[in-house]
Structure 1
Amino acid sequence: MFSLMKAAVGGLTGVCRVNGYKQGPLLCHLKVLVAGLQTYEIPPDYSDVVLPAKPKLKFMNKVPNLKRPRREPKKLRDIQGPTKGADSFTTGQYGIVALGGGYLHWGHIEMIRLTINRKMDARTMFAQWCINGPYKPITRKSLGQRMGGGKGAINHYVTPVRYGRLIVEVGGKVELGEVQHILTEVAKKLPFPAQVVSRESLEAMKKKQADMEQNNQNPWTFKQIVRGNMLGVRRVVSPFDVHHSGRFSGKFHFPGRV
């Protein structure tokens, strides 16, 4: 049977010529797979990465070590506007940046610590905090108490966070794809919008904002309108909006406004 098929195909040779070789009409539609060299990307160099002695996140106290804690007013300006520090990486390559303001309770901090410490590989990774422990007191009166009688007792402590502040850094001999799922899981559970960034993406965000302000084609910007007091707009605009040129509304940030 095989010899008959071979003779049938061989009898049809000479009908089609490809690159000087005689082939039959059936063989003209067959593709010849040739093994070739496959190129791979050069792996990153981690020769300059030094892992610390304690690579995991340290435990933070629920209550600050104060001899006499002082009750404070609400003072919502702690979470308004851009951050005044911790907006760039120190030793890590990846992290979580806050895209809005808010308060971190001790439960949020413990969630971050447990999630990262359980899922990270301490042999090739390390993590470190970019925030302080809870230090701002939050007061609350007991249930059923009448109005008045002074300020309530301290109920718990929180950590204020502003826009652009790094929450935690992760580094080591790893790439972004190895830690992105861990940091994304943490960022979804925070009480404010947050995003997973690397050194390159964080610099790209800052550069994009600077380019928008420099290459803006609209001559009537919020800053010029407010400073010029056009149509008496200063009567309804707060000093906070004047200082930040309308890029923030309380704890919220408007990325498209320049």
Structure 2
Amino acid sequence: MNTTKLLTFRAPAVSLVQICGFKNFKAPPNYDHIQLPERPKLRFIDKLPNLPPSIRPPKMQKRLRYMRGPEDVHNFLMHQQFGIIALGGGRLKWGHFEMMRLTIGRKMDTSRMFASWRIDSPWQPVTKRGQGQRLGGGKGAIDHYVTPIKAGRVIVEIGGKCEFKEVEEFLTDIANKLPFKAMAVSQKMMEKMREDEKWREENNQNPYTMKYLIQNNMGGCQRWVSPWDLKYFCKYV
């Protein structure tokens, strides 16, 4: 006769504190101090500069100095929220302005966000000669206008009752389409970038920096470095 043994299982102890514990959620940010403007979208940028009818459009040299070096004026966020900054020098054409205006206007929620330009409309003329023409005959005709940009320049700024995660995706998409290196930033990111740069300069353990090498003419480097490298120590290429 088979005997069956009854097995008794004891349920594990359950902690009600773990299952029904209190949850701590951060309070949403307060946007009561933010006032939205009447026109939240970016304004249309003219393709050509507005000149009086009696003035002939002047031509200009390349003047690459307008793109070299750091930006000393427009290198901060006025609304202290979000924007796009340039990481290098370059030129913006009218098509880039339209790309930014249409993309931001399509992706931005105008009921609680606004955007503003931080750069001038195209003003520097760029000349071009037709293909196959002979040399000589003076400077070519004006082909288009551009806006020169320096490293650190704030291109466009976005603010309103929103967080950085809401605008980061389409701002990064716009920054990747620009003809120079750029990135989407917030006020906290810009402050951290400045603090990190200052910390690296103060805690650098290698005395042979580019500034030390150029100032002390190590290896006769001052004979072949450019005047811009003598001024900015190869920081802005």
Fold match (TM-score > 0.5): yes
Identical columns (%): 47
Distance in 1, matches of 2:233 and 2:132, equals 44
Question: Structure 1 residue 230: deviation in Å?
Answer: 2.6
What's 1:252 paired with? none
List gaps (5 residues or longer) in structure 1: 1-10, 14-23, 250-258
Structure 1 residues 116-175: Cα deviation after superposition (integer angstroms, max 9, x where no partner):
011111110000001000001000012221111111000000011111111100000000
Between 1 and 2, higher relative CO (CA 8 Å, sep ≥ 6) is seen in 2
Which of 43, 49, 59 aligns to 2:34? It is 49
What's 1:135 paired with? 123
- Give the partner amino acid of 1:137: P
Which of 19, 33, 43 aligns to 1:58? It is 43
Question: Structure 1 residue 29: deviation in Å?
Answer: 8.7
Question: Taking structure 1 as the reference length, what is the TM-score of the superposition?
Answer: 0.83
Aligned pair 1:193/2:200, yes or no?
Answer: no
What's 2:3 paired with? none
Question: Structure 1 residue 92: deviation in Å?
Answer: 4.8
Distance in 2, matches of 1:39 and 1:228, equals 58
SS in 2 for 1:28: coil
Which of 114, 118, 127 aligns to 1:126? It is 114
- Give the partner amino acid of 2:123: Y
List gaps (5 residues or longer) in structure 2: 1-5
- Give the partner amino acid of 2:74: A
Aligned positions of 1:21-170 closer than 5 A? 24-25=9-10, 27-28=11-12, 34-66=19-51, 67-170=55-158
Q: CA RMSD in A?
A: 2.0
Question: Structure 1 residue 239: deviation in Å?
Answer: 1.6
- Give the partner amino acid of 1:103: R
Aligned pair 1:236/2:221, yes or no?
Answer: no
Structure 1 residues 94-115: Cα deviation after superposition (integer angstroms, max 9, x where no partner):
0111111111110000000000
- Give the partner amino acid of 1:28: P
SS in 2 for 1:248: coil
Question: Structure 1 residue 69: deviation in Å?
Answer: 2.1
SS in 2 for 1:157: strand
Question: Taking structure 2 as the reference length, what is the TM-score of the superposition?
Answer: 0.90
- Give the partner amino acid of 1:183: L
User: Cα gap change, 1:92/1:214 in structure 2, threshold over 3 Å: closer, same or farther?
Assistant: closer
Aligned length: 229
Question: Structure 1 residue 212: deviation in Å?
Answer: 1.4
Which is higher, the Rg of structure 1 or of structure 2? 1
- Any conservation in 1 of the 2:175–2:181 contact (CA below 8 Å)? yes
Aligned pair 1:206/2:194, yes or no?
Answer: yes
Distance in 2, matches of 1:222 and 1:142, equals 43
User: Cα gap change, 1:228/1:30 in structure 2, threshold over 3 Å: closer, same or farther?
Assistant: closer
Distance in 1, matches of 2:115 and 2:163, equals 14
